[in-house]
Amino acid sequence: MVRRVHPVVREIEDQLREVVEGIGYELVLVKYGGPARRPTLTVFIDREEGVGIEDCSLVSQRLSVLLDLLDPIPSSYELIVSSPGLDRPLVRQEDYVRFAGRRAALTRVRPGAQREVIDGILRGIDGSAVLVEHRGAVQAIPLDEIEAAHLVYEWDG
């Protein structure tokens, strides 16, 4: 995947993952950015049973202690811990296997071409390509051409 990672995230992501997984959650994604005077560090967590406000509060408390020790951001910032939501981002190769059979939207960027959004059913991974059933055919999309991807929630009725 072609995922741009902020240097702050690159520096602390492994330590964040260790804490989050150590208390029984999955670290889905970490983002850093926003206005220079008040940037935001956003941590998305998940688990099989889902994530509620109490889960986010617990993880936030644990991560605050770690971040106070690491002090990776010299200015003040806001820490947000959240569930990935119904349109959960697909970040790791394993996500495409785990959510096979579910509908997803992938933003594909081919060298020298414009972005293309492909909306279809995930069919897993084949080597270094994501398999997506789109318009009645299965397409193999190279992982290195995927800029972003997320599940698409399908409403009943």
User: Angle between the 53-70 and 7-22 helix axes, to the nearest 10 degrees?
Assistant: 120
What is the maximum alpha-carbon separation in the chain? 52
Give residue 20's pLDDT: 98
**The one-letter amino acid at 1:** M
- Domains detected in the chain: 7-82 (3.30.300.70), 93-151 (2.30.30.100)
Give residue 3's pLDDT: 67
Give residue 145's pLDDT: 94
How far, in whole angstroms, is CA 155 from its chain's centroid?
A: 22
Query: How far, in Å, CA of 119 to CA of 25, rounded?
Result: 28
Q: Which two tokens stand for residue 77?
A: 């910032």
Report whether pLDDT(21) > 80. yes
Report whether pLDDT(6) > 90. no
Give residue 104's pLDDT: 97
Residues 6 or more apart in contact with residue 18 via CB below 8 angstroms: none
- Tens digits of per-residue pLDDT, 23-76? 999 999 999 998 888 899 999 999 999 999 999 999 999 999 999 999 998 889
- Tens digits of per-residue pLDDT, 73-104? 888 999 999 999 999 999 999 999 999 999 99
Query: How far, in Å, CA of 87 to CA of 110, rounded?
Result: 24
